[in-house]
C-alpha cells in the first residue's frame, strides 16, 4: 500500500508511524503529518489512533473514560464503639461513677427502667394536676352554691314563719269559708315543700363540698405526704394518725376535716415521736453496759425541764387542741 493510499484510507503503517515519531523535522521542513501528499489530500494524521506500547513494568494501558481509583481514598467501614451512656441525671456522684463501671447491657437496662419511671412519674403528676384543677373548679362552683343557699335559706324560713305561724285555720274556715281555707292550706303546703327542698339542697351541697374537699386534699397529699396515699398501706397509716391525734386531745369530729398540710405535719410529728420512742428503748437497753464503762455524769439543771413539764401540763388541761398545739404537745412529750 502506498503512502498516498494509506493516508486516504485514514491509517498508516508501523514504519511510517515510527519515522514520524522518531525523526525531528529539519529547519524549514514541515512535518509530514501536515504536508506532502497527506496535506494535499486535506486529511490530518490522528496520532490518537496509534496504539501505544505497554509500560516497561508490564502495566496495562487504561482505556478512555476510566478513572484511576486510589485505594487510599476508599472509605473504610466505621466500626468504632457507640458513645458511652450517661448515668441517670439525679444520681449522686458515687452512683454515677459505679454506673460507668457496669457492662453496657446492664447500663441499657438501668437507663430504660429510669426512663419508664420518669415517664410514669411525669404522667402521674400531670394527672394529679389535672385532677386538682378540676376539683378546684368544682369546689369553686360548690362554694358559690353554698354561699347562695346560706343566704337564701334563712330568708325563706323567716318569710314562711312570718306568713303562717299565727294562722288560725278553724277561724279562717268560719270567716272565709271552706273553699278559701282549702286554697290557703294548699299554698301553705307548697311553700313548706319549697323550704324543705332548700334545706335538702343545702345539705346535699354540704355533702358534695365535703367530698370535693376530701378529694382535693388527697390529691395534694400525693406530693406533701406520699406515705398517706400509698396504695396498700395508706389507709392503715391514716388510721394510726387518727389514733395518734385523738390521744393528743384532738376532737374526733375534727380529724376528717384536716387539710393536706395539717395531715402531713401531724404525720411527720407521729413518725418523729415513734422514732424517739424507739431510740429511747435502744438507749435504755444499752444503758447497763455503758454504765459499767462510763462514769456517771452530773444531772443537768432542772430549769428547762421544769418549763417543758409546765407547758405539757398546760396543753394537757385543754379540752380541745388545734393541730399546731397537738404537734407541739407531741414534740414536748418526746423530750420527757
Q: Which stretch of 4-13, 85-94, 146-155, 251-260 has the lowest confidence by average pLDDT?
A: 4-13
Locate all alpha helices (DSSP H) within the chain, ordered by sequence. Answer: 3-9, 14-22, 36-40, 93-101, 104-164, 169-224, 234-248, 260-293, 303-316, 323-335
Residues 6+ apart with CB under 8 A from 184: 167, 172
Is residue 269 over pLDDT 60?
yes
- pLDDT mean over 270-298: 66
Task: Give the Cα separation of 262 and 271 in Å (integer).
Answer: 14
More confident call, 304 vs 220: 220
- Is residue 274 domain-resident? yes
**pLDDT at residue 39, rounded to an integer:** 42
In this prediction, residue 80 has a pLDDT band, given cuts at 50, 70 and 90, of low
Assign 6 a pLDDT band (cuts: 50, 70, 90): very low
d(CA 311, CA 326): 12
For residue 34, pLDDT over 80 is answered with no
Q: Say if 119 falls within a structural domain.
A: no
**Containing domain of residue 33, as a range?**
1-51
Instruction: Tell me how many domains the chain contains.
Output: 2
Per-residue model confidence (pLDDT) at position 14 = 61
Output the nine-digit C-alpha cell for 285: 437497753
Q: Give per-residue pLDDT as tens, 241-262.
A: 999 999 888 898 888 888 989 9
What share of the chain has pLDDT > 70, as a percent? Answer: 67
Residue found by looking up cell 419511671 in the block: 117
Helix axes 169-224, 260-293, angle to 10 degrees: 50
Position 124 in a domain: no
pLDDT at 42 over 50: no
Residue 183 domain-assigned?
no
Query: What residues contact residue 143 under an 8 Å CB cut-off, 6+ apart?
Result: 209
∠ CA 229-232-237, rounded to 5°: 55
Tell me which DSSP letter residue 44 carries.
-
Query: What pLDDT is attached to residue 44?
Result: 47
Q: Which of 5-9, 204-208, 238-242, 258-262 has the lowest mean pLDDT?
A: 5-9
* Residue of 36 and 19 predicted with greater confidence: 19
pLDDT at 246: 92
Q: Which of 115, 116, 107 is nearest to 86 (CA)?
A: 107
* Residue 83, in any domain of the structure: no
Where residue 319 falls among pLDDT bands split at 50, 70, 90? confident
Q: Is residue 239 part of a domain?
A: yes
Domain assignment present for residue 76? The answer is: no
45 in a structural domain: yes
Per-residue pLDDT at 186 = 93
Rounded average pLDDT over 230-246? 90
Which of 17, 32, 51 marks a domain boundary? Answer: 51
Q: How confident is the model at residue 276 (pLDDT cuts 50, 70, 90)?
A: confident
Q: Which residue has the higher pLDDT, 94 or 120?
A: 94
pTM of the model: 0.41
Among 54-68, 111-125, 215-229, whose mean pLDDT is lowest?
54-68
- Reduced to 3 states (helix: H, G, I; strand: E, B; else coil), residue 142 is helix
The pLDDT of residue 275 is 80
Q: 59 pLDDT band (50/70/90 cuts)? A: very low
User: Distance between CA 142 and CA 134 in Å, rounded?
Assistant: 12
Instruction: Label residue 183 by pLDDT band (50, 70, 90).
Output: very high
**Nearest-CA neighbor of 216 among 138, 160, 143?**
138
- Point out the domain boundary residue: 12, 30, 51: 51
pLDDT tens track for 141-160: 777 777 888 888 888 889 98
Amino acid at each position: 500500500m502506498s503512502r498516498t493510499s494509506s493516508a486516504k484510507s485514514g491509517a498508516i503503517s508501523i514504519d511510517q508511524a515510527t519515522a514520524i515519531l522518531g525523526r525531528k523535522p529539519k529547519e524549514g521542513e514541515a512535518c509530514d503529518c501536515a504536508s506532502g501528499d497527506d496535506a494535499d489530500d486535506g486529511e490530518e494524521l490522528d496520532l490518537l489512533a496509534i496504539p501505544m506500547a505497554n509500560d516497561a513494568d508490564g502495566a496495562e494501558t487504561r482505556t478512555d473514560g476510566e478513572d484511576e481509583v486510589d485505594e487510599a481514598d476508599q472509605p473504610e467501614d466505621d466500626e468504632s464503639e457507640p458513645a458511652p451512656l450517661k448515668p441517670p441525671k439525679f444520681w449522686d456522684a458515687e452512683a454515677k461513677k459505679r454506673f460507668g463501671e457496669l457492662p453496657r447491657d446492664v447500663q441499657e437496662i438501668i437507663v430504660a427502667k429510669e426512663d419508664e419511671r420518669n415517664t410514669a412519674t411525669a404522667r402521674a403528676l400531670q394527672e394529679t394536676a389535672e385532677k386538682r384543677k378540676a376539683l378546684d373548679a368544682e369546689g369553686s362552683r360548690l362554694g358559690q352554691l353554698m354561699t347562695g343557699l346560706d343566704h337564701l335559706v334563712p330568708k325563706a324560713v323567716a318569710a314562711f314563719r312570718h306568713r303562717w305561724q299565727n294562722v288560725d285555720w278553724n277561724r279562717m274556715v268560719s270567716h272565709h269559708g271552706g273553699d278559701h281555707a282549702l286554697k290557703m292550706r294548699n299554698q301553705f303546703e307548697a311553700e313548706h315543700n319549697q323550704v324543705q327542698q332548700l334545706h335538702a339542697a343545702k345539705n346535699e351541697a354540704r355533702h358534695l363540698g365535703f367530698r370535693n374537699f376530701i378529694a382535693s386534699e388527697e390529691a395534694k397529699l400525693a406530693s406533701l405526704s406520699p406515705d398517706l396515699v400509698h396504695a396498700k398501706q395508706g389507709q392503715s397509716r391514716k388510721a394510726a394518725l387518727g389514733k395518734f391525734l385523738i390521744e393528743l386531745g384532738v376532737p374526733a369530729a375534727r380529724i376528717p376535716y384536716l387539710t393536706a398540710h395539717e395531715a402531713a405535719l401531724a404525720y411527720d410529728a407521729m413518725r418523729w415521736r415513734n422514732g424517739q420512742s424507739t431510740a429511747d428503748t435502744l438507749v435504755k437497753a444499752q444503758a447497763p453496759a455503758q454504765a459499767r464503762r462510763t462514769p456517771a455524769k452530773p444531772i443537768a439543771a432542772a430549769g428547762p425541764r421544769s418549763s417543758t413539764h409546765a407547758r405539757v401540763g398546760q396543753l394537757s388541761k385543754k379540752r380541745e387542741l388545734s393541730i399546731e398545739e397537738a404537734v407541739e404537745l407531741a414534740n414536748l412529750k418526746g423530750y420527757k
